[in-house]
């Protein structure tokens, strides 16, 4: 990028910073403007709320005086013990309360004792209760119109009370009170985006669209005010508290912002206030600032986006022009550079041609050496395979040779004892072992390739018994015992009889070697389990088991944990390949009770009438 382009982007970045700074400063002005609009809109809500309160109060204000003129009321106050008259007045007061939708209407004597009430038959009946401590009673008893807002000490419901004196023969004989339930006012306020609160002359909120603000003061209460409330039982002393409020005046006319903190968060409202001086109330309409603040954010963000778009478009056009000039200059420089490179490359090509001829000669010599090395490697592979086969043949024939020698020694002993029958049996077994060694030799030739002998169904019990019989000499020499767990019915598997016998002999021999250091007598466990379409042959010993690193490589050719004079490490590798040739699997693990465990898994087969040996 050229110097001109870099300069353009620096100027653009500076312009963006200026735009963001102007947006930051302009947000405050925009927010105050929207606050003022919100205050103007909520003023109509305030006027409606005040008009509704005044209308309701003016509706109920004359009721106590009208009720006080009724003859039955005066008669009751003169004859308070007339039960028939008390019942009649109770019913009249209930009809009046239901008709005017008042909460309660009741009559008291000059001592403040309630003689009759509209709620005479409820659990919160005012009858026989004394309310002489209420200010509205005192004002009416002195001949005035009592007005008062308080929490009912009996009903525990907030209400506004109107009280008027009952006069007879020119003197006051009692008081009539009408209580209005304020819940209906709050019900109409809820669900609006504005919050409405009504406070008394002490600043205590007694009506609000928010129930958690009830009986909270907008400022600290003096001790005298608290004592007066406690004496008149106007509000529950235990619920009185100060609402954490802070107020600020904005630099626009008649706009107050009120912050109320509570429950771990702070709420800001645009506050409109109107006093009701005739009854000492103050009505506040609180509008959340969130909507006005959001409008200010949207307005400022829109302006910022427009300015940013203008700045970026201008920068883009200037940058395009600078790029065009840079491209023209770059083409001129590239043309000059190209001419210089052509001259340099010509010289380099001449030098490279000389080096290439030398490399061709070196590669030709390397190819000749490679062909000679490949021929040597093929010859070495043939010799290694021959050595492996010789070692495997020696390892596999040692066992039958040892058994043949044992049978020959036994035959000589039987002849010396003039027992020709037993000697002939041993000689027959030696003949079988010779045939067996011939078969083993044949199978070892096929160790590196798939055998050509036919694989088919073979009886498993015959193979297992022959393998144990072959190893009987070694088992007796080690005082080893065998524990067989074979099924009662004959099982047939797919494989070769001689080669499977060879695998079992190898596994039993390895088990004897694994228990050579045992202090207790060796035990060989051999079990057969039929599952689904497979048969598992499990050979286990009571030796020390197999290390984890040995299990991973024990089937590799020439891997052994024995000394070099005790084995070549080919037995398990040959056994593994034989089982794989049968289409089965040979695996090793450690038994939970101790010792190594080898599992041969073969396909189950259907039995045939006759089975010839492999």
Tell me what the mean pLDDT of segment 172-178 comes to.
94
Select the more confidently predicted residue: 370 or 288: 288
Whether the CB-CB separation of 541 and 527 falls below 8 Å is answered with no
pLDDT band at 19 (very low <50, low <70, confident <90, very high): low
Q: What is the pLDDT of residue 202?
A: 78
Q: What is the DSSP letter of 485?
A: E
The CA–CA distances, whole Å, from 399 to 101, 472, 506, 509, 571 equal: 115, 12, 9, 9, 11
pLDDT for residue 430 is more than 70: yes
What does the pLDDT read at residue 442? 56
Mean pLDDT of 115-132: 90
Q: Which two tokens stand for residue 408?
A: 């020959």
Find the mean pLDDT for residues 495-522.
85
Percent of the chain with pLDDT over 90: 15
Instruction: Please tell me the predicted confidence (pLDDT) of residue 603.
Output: 92
Task: Quickly list DSSP for 378-431.
Answer: HHHHHHHHHHHHHHHHHHHHHHHHHHHHHHHHHHHHHHHTT-HHHHHHHHHHHH
Q: Which residues contact 376 (CB under 8 A, 6 or more apart)?
A: none
pLDDT of residue 26: 65
What CATH number labels 451-603?
Answer: 3.30.565.10
pLDDT-based confidence at 282, cuts 50/70/90?
A: confident
Is the per-residue pLDDT at 434 higher than 90? no
Specify whether the CB–CB gap between 468 and 510 falls below 8 A.
Answer: no
Asked if 441 contacts 447 with a C-beta cutoff of 8 angstroms, the reply is no
Task: Tell me the pLDDT of the chain averaged across its residues.
Answer: 79
Percent of the chain with pLDDT over 70: 83
Choice among 98-107, 286-295, 577-586 with the minimum mean pLDDT: 286-295
Q: What is the pLDDT of residues 354-382, one digit of tens each?
A: 888 888 888 888 877 865 664 454 344 33
Flag the least confident range among 105-109, 152-156, 476-480, 590-594.
152-156
Where is average pLDDT lowest: 49-58, 120-129, 320-329, 483-492?
A: 320-329
Contact 581, 592 (CB under 8 A): no
187 confidence band (pLDDT: 50, 70, 90): confident
Residue in the structure block whose two tokens are 């306020």 = 189
**259 and 245 Cβ atoms separated by less than 8 Å:** yes
User: Which segments of 152-203 are extended strands (E)?
Assistant: 158-168, 171-181, 195-199
- Domain 185-290 and domain 451-603, same fold? Reply is no
pLDDT at res. 602: 93
CA nearest neighbour of 400 among 432, 444, 442: 432
d(CA 259, CA 269): 6
Minimum mean pLDDT range among 161-175, 510-524, 579-593? 510-524
- Lowest mean per-residue pLDDT among 6-15, 22-31, 50-59, 300-309: 22-31
CATH topology of domain 185-290: Beta-Lactamase (3.30.450)
Work out the pLDDT band at 586, boundaries 50, 70, 90.
very high
Mean pLDDT of 141-157: 85
Q: How confident is the model at residue 178 (pLDDT cuts 50, 70, 90)?
A: very high
564, pLDDT greater than 60:
no
Cα 92 to chain centroid distance, Å, stands at 66
Tell me what pLDDT residue 381 has: 38
Confidence band, pLDDT 50/70/90 cuts, at residue 115: very high
pLDDT single digits (tens) 29-41: 666 776 777 767 7
pLDDT tens profile 511-556: 888 887 777 788 999 999 998 889 999 999 988 888 888 877 777 7
The pLDDT, as a whole number, for residue 279 is 78
Distances (CA, A) of 8 to 3, 17, 310, 314, 325: 9, 14, 14, 10, 14
Query: What is the domain partition of the chain in residue ranges?
Result: 63-181, 185-290, 341-449, 451-603
Vertex 450: Cα angle to 447 and 453 (nearest 5):
100
Q: What is the pTM of this model?
A: 0.44
pLDDT-based confidence at 598, cuts 50/70/90? very high
Could you tell me the fold of the domain covering 63-181?
Beta-Lactamase (3.30.450)
State the residue for tokens 């694989």. 455
Task: Name the phi and psi angles at 247, rounded to 5.
Answer: -120, 140
Q: Which of the residue ranges 369-373, 402-406, 496-500, 521-525 would you say has the lowest mean pLDDT?
A: 369-373
**Torsion, CA 605, CA 611, CA 613, CA 614, rounded to 10:** -50
> What's phi and psi for 256, nearest 5 deg?
-110, 140
Alpha helices for 134-252 (secondary structure H): 135-141, 183-189, 223-232
Q: Is the pLDDT of residue 385 over 70?
A: no
Which H or E run contains 571?
helix 571-581
Helix axes of 290-416 and 571-581: crossing angle, nearest 10 degrees: 110
Question: What does the pLDDT look like over 219-235, one tens digit per residue?
Answer: 787 888 788 877 777 77
The residue ranking higher by pLDDT, 309 or 370, is: 309
* Lowest mean pLDDT segment, chosen from 45-59, 62-76, 159-173: 45-59
What gap in Å lies between CA 157 and CA 159, rounded to an integer? 6
For residues 272-276, average pLDDT? 82
Residue 574: name the closest of 559, 596, 564 by CA: 559
Rounded to 5 degrees, φ, ψ at 178 are -120, 125
Q: Looking at residue 392, what is its pLDDT?
A: 45
Read off the pLDDT of residues 442-452 as tens digits, 9 standing for 90 and up. 544 543 444 44
Strand, helix or coil for residue 86 = helix
Query: Is 80 exceeded by the pLDDT of residue 422?
Result: yes
């Amino acid at each position: 990028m050229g110097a001109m382009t870099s300069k353009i982007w620096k100027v653009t970045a500076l312009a963006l910073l200026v735009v963001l700074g102007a947006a930051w400063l302009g947000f405050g002005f925009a927010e105050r403007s929207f606050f003022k609009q919100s205050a103007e809109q909520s003023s109509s809500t305030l006027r409606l709320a005040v008009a509704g309160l005044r209308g309701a109060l003016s509706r109920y204000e004359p009721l106590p005086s009208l009720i006080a003129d009724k003859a039955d009321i005066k008669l009751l106050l003169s004859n308070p013990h007339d039960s028939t008259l008390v019942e009649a007045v109770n019913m009249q007061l209930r009809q009046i309360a239901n008709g005017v939708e008042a909460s309660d209407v009741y009559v008291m004597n000059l001592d403040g004792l309630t003689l009759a009430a509209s709620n005479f038959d409820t659990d919160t009946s005012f009858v026989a209760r004394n309310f002489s401590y209420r200010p509205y009673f005192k004002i009416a008893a002195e001949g005035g119109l009592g007005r008062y807002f308080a929490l009912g000490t009996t009903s525990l419901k907030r209400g506004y009370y109107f009280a008027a004196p009952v006069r007879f023969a020119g003197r006051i004989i009692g008081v009539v009170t009408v209580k209005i339930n304020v819940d209906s006012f709050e019900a109409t306020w809820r669900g609006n985006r504005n919050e409405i609160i009504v406070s008394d002359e002490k600043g205590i909120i007694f009506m609000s669209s928010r129930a958690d603000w009830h009986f909270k003061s907008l400022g600290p209460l003096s001790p005298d005010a608290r004592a007066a409330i406690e004496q008149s039982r106007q509000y529950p002393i235990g619920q009185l508290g100060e609402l954490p409020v802070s107020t600020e005046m904005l630099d626009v006319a008649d706009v107050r912002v009120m912050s109320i903190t509570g429950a771990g968060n702070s709420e800001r409202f645009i506050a409109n206030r109107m006093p009701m001086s005739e009854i000492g109330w103050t009505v506040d309409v609180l509008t959340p600032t969130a909507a006005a603040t959001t409008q200010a954010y949207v307005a400022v963000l829109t302006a910022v986006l427009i300015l940013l778009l203008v700045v970026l478009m201008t920068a883009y056009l200037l940058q395009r022009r600078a790029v065009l000039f840079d491209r023209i200059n770059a083409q001129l420089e590239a043309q000059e550079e190209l001419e210089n490179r052509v001259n340099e490359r010509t010289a380099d090509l001449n030098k490279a041609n000389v080096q290439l001829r030398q490399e061709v000669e070196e590669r030709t010599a390397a190819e000749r050496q490679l062909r000679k090395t490949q021929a040597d490697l093929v010859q070495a592979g043939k010799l290694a395979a021959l050595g492996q086969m010789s070692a495997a043949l020696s390892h596999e024939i040692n066992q039958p040779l040892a058994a043949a020698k044992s049978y020959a020694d036994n035959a000589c002993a039987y002849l010396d004892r003039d027992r020709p029958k037993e000697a002939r049996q041993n000689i027959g077994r030696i003949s079988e072992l010779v045939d067996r060694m011939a078969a083993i030799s044949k199978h070892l030739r096929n160790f590196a390739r798939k055998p050509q002998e036919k694989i088919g169904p073979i009886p498993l019990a015959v193979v297992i018994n022959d393998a144990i019989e072959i190893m009987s000499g070694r088992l007796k020499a080690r005082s080893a015992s065998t524990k067989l767990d074979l099924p009662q019915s004959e099982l047939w598997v797919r494989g070769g009889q001689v080669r499977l016998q060879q695998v079992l002999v190898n596994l039993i021999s390895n088990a004897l070697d694994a228990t050579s250091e045992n202090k207790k007598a060796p035990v060989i466990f051999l079990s057969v389990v039929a599952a689904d379409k497979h048969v598992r042959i499990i050979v286990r010993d009571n030796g020390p088991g197999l290390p984890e690193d040995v299990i991973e490589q024990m089937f590799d050719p020439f891997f052994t944990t024995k000394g070099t004079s005790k084995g070549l490490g080919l037995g398990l590798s040959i056994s593994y390949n034989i089982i794989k040739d049968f289409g089965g699997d040979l695996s090793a693990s450690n038994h939970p009770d101790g010792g190594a465990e080898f599992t041969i898994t073969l396909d189950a087969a259907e039995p045939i009438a006759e089975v010839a040996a492999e």
